[in-house]
Amino acid sequence: MSDSHGNTPAAWTAVFIGLAAFVVGGIGLMFSPLNWTLFWVGVAIFAVAPVALVVLNKMGFGEGTGH
């Protein structure tokens, strides 16, 4: 296991994006009637999180592969 234990800028950025997506989607679900547009915007934002993780890892902001 590496020294950072996943505590990298790439991982934290992906977590922040995912958290923001759940907040946006949750706000959409709290409206009466439901705001499905806002909910689906949250789903779309959530789809960006793993892409950001992969891109940032490739840019060198993730864990190194060599020991």
What values do phi and psi take at 48, rounded to 5? -80, -25
pLDDT of res. 21: 98
12 residue type, one letter: W
pLDDT of res. 67: 42
| pLDDT digit string, tens, across residues 37-63 | 999 999 999 999 999 999 999 999 988
Neighbours of 35 (CB within 10 A): 15
- Report field, pTM of the whole predicted structure over 0.75: yes
